[in-house]
Chain A
Amino acid sequence: MFPRIPMLSYDVVVIGGGPAGMAAAIRAKELGLKVLLLDENDYLGGILPQCIHPGFGLHYYREELTGPEFASRLAKRLVELGVEYRTAARVLEIKNYSDLEKVVIFTSPGGAYQVWAKAVIYAAGARERHAFEIGIVGDRVSGIYTAGEAQTLMDLYGIMPGKEIVIVGSGDVGLIMARRFALEGAKVKAVVELMPYPGGLARNVMILRDFNIPLYLSHKVVEVRGKGRVERVKVVKVDENLNEIPGSEFWIEADTLIISAGLVPSVKKLKKIGVEIDPATGGPVVNDRLETSVPGIFVAGNSLLINDLVDYVAEQGELAAEGTKEFIENGGIESRKWVKVEKGENVRLIAPHYLSGDRDVYLYLRVSKPMEDVELRIPEIDKGMKLPVVKPAEMLRIKLKAEEIRKAEKLTVEVVKA
């Protein structure tokens, strides 16, 4: 059905104005494509404007920036190039009529529109797991926030959520929020981590030492109690199989519980048009142009897989844009044969999934468990890279040369003792 609403026409529609989307739109414009970027927020940058801590841009800009600064650099470039964009524009539906006919329907205060495009870059980011998803029971009271929501409240809207804080999950966002709370005068009473090792980058784990915050490894929060507002949370110790140890329960008094239990790529709209999803990454199965299983639908950033570094996110955006250029010029992404990338020992997830062998490629991967003195190996092409330490929290990135890829029928990536 064609809705009777105003029609726009572009080569590429980029969905999402965070770092992946902005980098994609910039690159697409540089490549001479007619591009429209859509973002649902009132401002560009996605989640970056609320990530006020430093640590962004070391690879991409070769200097250390805060999140808002990284976003404003991309936004500045976007505006300089004259990329068309709309904020407060929420995509309602993507329709895939044919390889070169996509329709993106969006709504905005200026109206609902249908945009016809030859290709779509989907860069809508991720969402956070919430308390119900991780099985926390008890009272449904105020004071339970995901780390991202707490960050929005504090660092965009200037609201202090509480004064005695327990944080679930020692991933980067959780640790960064621990620091924000501590800096603004709140008492962070515990960071509770299910795994026997911390989940964040080393530079963020250091926050705990800086602010004397107790870290409970191999523990989980199972229950919240309170009347109106969180009053206390119940913590229990787990064994090496993550089973709860009876009798190990204890309560921590707190008025705020922050959930930082990981991110999930936001891909519902892609699933609706039949895009194949990799259960390991939670994002689409893609080829080395970051094209999904639906021709002409590309994906980048946290919708592809959860990244640690914004630099990689922006890199993925550019790559997807280059993919759309090729797709539009050639009427599709061609390849002689696709070399499948497979997960070997201690590899939990990896992307891209199919490589053409006609270009160099970065593989992004995460390990299942931490190890020391390892080798990242691809036996089929006899490639190896020694690493002193690998952790699930830190994404690995390895570059493969086109000629290496061409040598193989498939590539198995494994992380084994050196």
Chain B
Amino acid sequence: MKTKVAIIGAGISGASIARVLSRYENLEVHLIEKAPDVGWGVSKANTALIHGGYDDDPEKYPTRAKLCIRGNRLWHQWVKELEIPHVWNGALIVATKDEDFDELERLLERGRKNGVPEMRIVDRDELFHLEPNLTREAIGALWVPIVGQIGPIPAVIAITENAVANGVKTHLETEVTGIKVENGEVKGVETKDGFIEADIVINAAGLYADRIARMAGIDYFEIHPRKGEYWIFDDDVPGPKRVLFPTPTPISKGIVVTTEISGHLMIGPNAQDLPPEEKENLATTREGLEQVWEGAKKLWPQLPPRNKVIRTFAGLRPEPTGGDFIIKAEEEVWGFINVAGIRSPGLTSAPAIAYEVAEIIKRDLGIELKEKEKWNPYRKEISHFFTMTPEQVNEAIKKNPAYGKIVCRCNNVSEGDILEAIERMKFIGVKTPSVDSVKFRTKATTGTCQGSFCRPKIVQLLAREYGVEPWKVTLKGKGSEIGIGDVKVLLRGDA
């Protein structure tokens, strides 16, 4: 008999856990997510960094400190196995005052304690050699070469695809309404779509981890959202080669200036604490964006004119009571494992968190895990026209002429790319067609024009492939439909 595992939340943590657990033949793994697609919660909007592991104080936050550096090392392997878009460009924590060096020394020391390799302090000359357009006030920096950047949602998608290929069952658009506990043991998960039986329930519900825990009667922690806002600029705006941090203050890691993996200058985040109930408050604010602008200018004085922005966005980090990750099997409810409060460096730590959970299952729940004889660690990325040479395009066209037809002109995304993305959406069980699902897989609609030319075409393709009316295609799930009906719907009076 297989042990049934229900993972609540298909973000970076839940997906990573699913992948790691898919290795074992005696587990039946269910990945449950309330959104229509994976990675749409906390994983969606953040700085997309694979941190170096020097930042987390091992005394105060032992779990974070341990898992961050381990996660960093694992990502170097996972991005290759899963073909996740990434860049290992290193980070500079920049000093502008003499006192800053004290803090940098502290970070260096902490990094060494945490096991971070290859860190060192660079002087002004070397700093400007590494990053010539930095503020002239910079006097030195801590150089952390192992820092990198990935596409966080593409990562969740890649991991989920691999997990599904290895037998994980997804339940998307499935909101959890209760945890069934009997005699101090979990029995399964109640959802709006019915009951999912489980011997082990893993709570990786991001901002909602406190609510899910309460459903199992566990209430010792609370998750409050901390909002961070960002600007992204057009790809002809010059950005830095490395990830640039200011020297941190006791309150904040500071506003990062970076060129994200698609080549756009990105600045952010600020940090605004919200009350626990505002878990859906993803609105950008003028005050917040202003704060980010001012903060970024200190490191990168030549910010472009503001109309060079192509997008502003906000993300929420799940801040737990106590500040450290909460990753443990709860003693009062056998089989219930919390993976809660996965705030920064959660993205970095995710693979390590996943192995930690496997360890907890073995160690604390006493379940022996038997490796499958055949487990596929690899996953292929979909085609991207923008990575192909014209010769390769002509090869692809022999398979399907759609590979030669551009849909998103800003980012050169072909119809073939989009059709593959839709196939992959169906593969992991995406039920509601949405433009965002295509966007995160192909980069369509994320360029200079922000989709005004290509979105209607993507809507047509989604409608065709999903067999729905085009106006029922959504931007980002139910309630965000592209239209209210056909063009005559209001005149007929049936809207």
Please give the residue numbers on chain A whose beta carbons come within 8 Å of chain B beta carbons, in ascending order: 3-5, 40, 88, 90, 92, 105, 107-112, 114, 127-135, 137-143, 145-146, 148-149, 152-163, 184-186, 222-223, 225, 227-229, 255, 268, 271
With a cutoff of 8 Å between Cβ atoms, the chain A residues found around residue B491 in the complex are 184-185
| B311 in contact (CB, < 8 A) | yes
Q: Is the CB of B453 closer than 8 A to any CB of chain A? A: yes
Question: Which residues of A have CB within 8 Å of B189?
Answer: none
Q: Decide: A108 and B391 in contact? CB cutoff 8 A.
A: no
- Please indicate the chain B residues that have their CB under 8 angstroms from the CB of A142 in the complex: 474-476, 479-482
A227 and B280 contact, CB distance less than 8 A? yes
Contact B309 A133 (CB under 8 A): yes
CA distance A129 to B310 in the complex (A): 10
CB-CB nearest in chain A for B314: A140
Residues of chain B within 8 A (CB-CB) of A229 are 479-481
Chain B residue with the shortest CB-CB distance to A88: B405
A159 pairs with B404, CB closer than 8 A: no
| Chain B residues within an 8 Å CB radius of A153 | 456, 459, 482-483
List residues of chain B with CB within 8 A of the CB of A108: 404-405
A146-B452, A160-B490 known; 7 new pairs, CB 8 Å cut-off, are A88-B405, A108-B405, A148-B452, A159-B470, A160-B483, A161-B484, A255-B484
Contact of A5 among B394, B455, B476, B479 (CB under 8 A): B394
Residue pair A152, B484 in contact (C-beta under 8 Å): no
Chain A residue numbers with a CB within 8 Å of B460 are 157
Chain A residues with CB under 8 Å of B306's CB are: 135
Alpha-carbon gap, A153 to B470, bound state (A): 10
How distant is the Cα of A111 from the Cα of B303 in the complex, in angstroms?
Answer: 40
Q: List 8 A-B contacts (CB under 8 A).
A: A111-B397, A128-B449, A140-B282, A149-B455, A158-B487, A159-B470, A160-B471, A184-B490
B480 x A111 contact (CB < 8 A): no
Question: With A3-B389, A90-B406, A110-B404 as given contacts, are A163 and B490 in contact (CB-CB < 8 Å)?
Answer: yes
A119 CB to nearest B CB, Å: 22
A80 to B484, CA, bound (A): 42
A248 → B minimal CB distance (Å):
15
Q: Is the CB of B409 within 8 A of A40?
A: yes
Which B residues touch A3, using CB under 8 A? Answer: 389-391
Q: Are B456 and A157 in contact (CB-based, < 8 A)?
A: yes
- Contact of B480 with A228 in the complex, beta carbons under 8 Å: yes
Query: How many angstroms between the C-alpha atoms of A114 and B389 in the bound complex?
Result: 12
B488 interfacial by beta-carbon distance below 8 Å? yes
A43 to chain B, nearest CB (A): 13
Give B452-495 as 1s and 0s: 1 = Cβ < 8 Å from A's Cβ atoms: 11011001100000000011001111111111111111110001
Contact A110 to B456, CB < 8 A, known contacts A141-B480, A142-B475: no
Given the known A-B contacts A3-B390, A157-B459, A163-B490, are A132 and B452 also in contact in the complex, defined by CB atoms under 8 Å?
Answer: no
Contacts of A92 in B (CB 8 A): 390, 412
Kindly specify which of B125-133, B283-291, B361-369 makes contact with the partner chain.
B283-291
The 6 A-B pairs with the shortest beta carbon distances in the complex, nearest first, are A228-B479, A185-B490, A109-B401, A142-B480, A90-B406, A142-B475
B63 within 8 A of A: no
**Is B495 a contact of A159 with CB atoms below 8 Å?**
no
**Number of B interface residues, CB 8 Å?**
61
Q: Does B448 contact A (CB under 8 A)?
A: yes
Give Cα distance in the complex from A346 to B440, angstroms.
46
Interface residues of B (CB under 8 A from A): 236, 280, 282-286, 289, 306-307, 309-313, 385, 389-391, 393-394, 397, 401-402, 404-406, 409, 412, 414, 448-453, 455-456, 459-460, 470-471, 474-491, 495
Contacts of A225 in B (CB 8 A): 283
Q: Which one, B283, B414, B476, B486, contacts A137 given CB within 8 A?
A: B283
B452/A40 in contact, CB under 8 A: no
Measured between beta carbons, the chain B residues less than 8 angstroms from A159 are 456, 459, 470-471, 482-483, 485-487
Tell me which residues across on chain B come within 8 A of A114, comparing CB atoms: 390
For A138, give its contact among B284, B389, B409, B487 (CB under 8 Å).
B284
Task: Check B452 against A127 for contact (C-beta < 8 Å).
Answer: yes
Which of the listed residues A112, A186, A222 has the most CB atoms from chain B within 10 Å of its own CB? A112
Bound CA–CA A330/B255 (angstroms): 57
Cβ contact within 8 Å between A109 and B397: yes
User: Smallest CB–CB gap between B235 and chain A, Å?
Assistant: 9
Instruction: Give Cα distance in the complex from A40 to B406, angstroms.
Output: 7
Cα–Cα, bound, A223→B312 (Å): 12
Distance between A300 CB and nearest chain B CB, rounded to angstroms: 19
Residues of A close to B485: CB separation below 8 A: 159-160
Residues of A within 8 A of B286 (CB): 135, 137, 222-223
Residues of B within 8 A of A163 (CB): 484, 490, 495
Which residue from A90, A137, A139 sits with its C-beta under 8 Å from B289? Answer: A137
CB distance from A258 to the nearest CB of B (A): 11
Q: Hey, which chain A residues are within 8 Å of B289, CB to CB? A: 137
A296 to B491, CA, bound (A): 52
